Amino acid sequence: MPHTAYDAFDALAERSGYALIDPPILQPAELFLDLLGEDMRRRAFLTTDAEGREFCLRPDFTIPVSRHHLKEAKASAVGAYAYRGPVFRFRADGPSEFLQAGFENYGRRDLPAADAEMLAIALEAASDLGLNRPDIRMGDAGIVSAMLDALDLPPVWRRRLVSDLRRSKNLDEDLARLGTSAPRNGAAAYAGFLAALEGADPGSARAAVADLLSIAGIQPVGGRSVDEIADRFLEQAALSSGLGIDADKVATTRKIFAVAGDPDSASAQLRTIANEAKLDLNAALDAFDQRTGFFAARGIDVGAIRFATGFGRRLDYYTGFVFELHDPAQPDAPQRAGGGRYDQLMSQLGSAAAVPAVGCSIWLDRFGGEA
């Protein structure tokens, strides 16, 4: 066992075939604020250069490493990178400058096998750093997307449930509200205004609300523009006023989000629900089962994995498999490592073609030891 966290990590990167890189600490702020969501907007350290351009101290490594891959390799090429160093973001549970390490893998088309490799590497890193049998918590944003597509829920509810999943909050509350037809949270006060907007395209409705906010002198709050505040108002009003969603769809949605257990039992539960509701989730569940097979092939104890459909991670770019590793002796403490699949990020960064991508981050400061 190497004496320092960096030594342990570097040795793992070398034997796993991941090239060690060191992206710049100062990064364009717009990329992080647009792609990592509101949570990062509140926690990033921002600064402005002499020409008025906004930058931030890197709050995360995935976007800088992704930009490195786009610059240094063809987007469609396979790339495997490791990184380590300080990141900067406000945290309630520790210092706002802390050490992070991790792995990112781009371009592999064998998605289930690549996912399994990333979890195996994260488990090996945890073991090298002293955590031999972590709790493995797992979700799958791809399963959720396939379910929402099959159920054809209204767009406002699709966005809301996906947001709940990423924030790990409000899911139970919003599932209870799903299909409620009675106005809530004061929505009746806006009934006339909402009726006037009925039938308007989303852009026109947003513009009308934005104009009213401007006339009222409402200023941007918490980094949000007037347009973003308008979007939030329209979403909350639509959710609160009720949308008359079919009761069978509501029941199926709640059943799917209640599924939990090891991957094999979860797959069986999801297939039963899909068959009863006549939903075609076969492609998503077949990929899910293939990945489970690759877990087993890598010696991972599948029975020890705790899957939940309602489990998600904070960052907005995840599109599929997600996971976290926790210390079983401290089940309520923050994760020691976590990651997942983010197949749309490279296109958002400018790639002309979609690039499959999966990665994980390791919080070195939560393992102790010196870097």
pLDDT for res 68? 93
Domain check: are 17 and 130 in the same one?
yes
Residue 163: inside a domain, yes or no? no
- Non-local (6+) Cβ contacts of 64 within 8 A are 23, 24, 27, 58
CB atoms within 10 A of CB 275: 12
Q: How many Cα atoms occupy the beta-carbon half-sphere of 224 within 13 Å?
A: 16
Domain check: are 19 and 130 in the same one?
yes
Domain check: are 127 and 195 in the same one?
no
Token pair for 131: 């955590």
CB atoms within 10 A of CB 313: 21
70-129 tens-digit pLDDT: 988 776 789 999 999 999 988 877 789 999 999 999 999 999 999 999 999 999 999 999
Domain check: are 7 and 94 in the same one?
yes
- Non-local (6+) Cβ contacts of 292 within 8 A are 263, 264, 267, 302
pLDDT for res 1? 36
In degrees and rounded to multiples of 5, residue 142 shows phi and psi of: -65, -40
**One-letter amino acid for residue 198 of the chain:** E
Domain check: are 14 and 87 in the same one?
yes
39-59 tens-digit pLDDT: 667 788 888 888 888 899 999
SS3 104: strand
Residue 48: inside a domain, yes or no? yes
- Non-local (6+) Cβ contacts of 127 within 8 A are none
Residue 60: inside a domain, yes or no? yes
Domain check: are 122 and 192 in the same one?
no
- Is the distance from CB of 361 to CB of 178 less than 8 angstroms? no
Per mean pLDDT, which range of 84-93, 156-165, 190-199 is the poorest?
Answer: 190-199
Residue 312: inside a domain, yes or no? no
Cβ-count burial of 94 within 10 angstroms (0-12 exposed, 13-18 middle, 19+ buried)? exposed
Domain check: are 195 and 83 in the same one?
no
pLDDT for res 6? 84
- Is the distance from CB of 11 to CB of 39 less than 8 angstroms? no
Task: Count structural domains, the chain.
Answer: 2
Residue 281: inside a domain, yes or no? no
Residue 65: which of 99, 5, 108, 106 has the closest Cα? 106
C-alpha 356/C-alpha 371 separation (Å) is 31
Q: Among 223, 240, 257, give the residue marking a domain's end.
A: 240
- Is the distance from CB of 36 to CB of 63 less than 8 angstroms? yes
Domain check: are 125 and 221 in the same one?
no
pLDDT for res 184? 47
198-218 tens-digit pLDDT: 455 556 666 666 676 677 666
Residue 205: domain span: 187-240
Q: Among 240, 275, 307, give the residue marking a domain's end.
A: 240
Task: Tell whether pTM > 0.95.
Answer: no
Full strand arrangement of the beta sheet holding 26-28: 26-28, 54-57, 46-48
* CATH code of 98's domain: 3.30.930.10
- Is the distance from CB of 99 to CB of 84 less than 8 angstroms? yes
Residue 155: inside a domain, yes or no? no
Helix (H) or strand (E) holding 260: strand 260-261
250-267 tens-digit pLDDT: 889 889 999 999 999 999
Domain check: are 119 and 195 in the same one?
no
Mean of pLDDT over the chain: 83
Domain check: are 126 and 8 in the same one?
yes
C-alpha 113/C-alpha 96 separation (Å) is 35
SS3 156: helix
- Non-local (6+) Cβ contacts of 330 within 8 A are none
Residue 168: inside a domain, yes or no? no
Residue 264: inside a domain, yes or no? no
325: left (phi over 0), alpha (psi -120 to 50) or beta: beta
Domain check: are 113 and 199 in the same one?
no
Helix (H) or strand (E) holding 241: helix 226-241
Largest interatomic CA distance in the chain: 68
Domain check: are 203 and 99 in the same one?
no
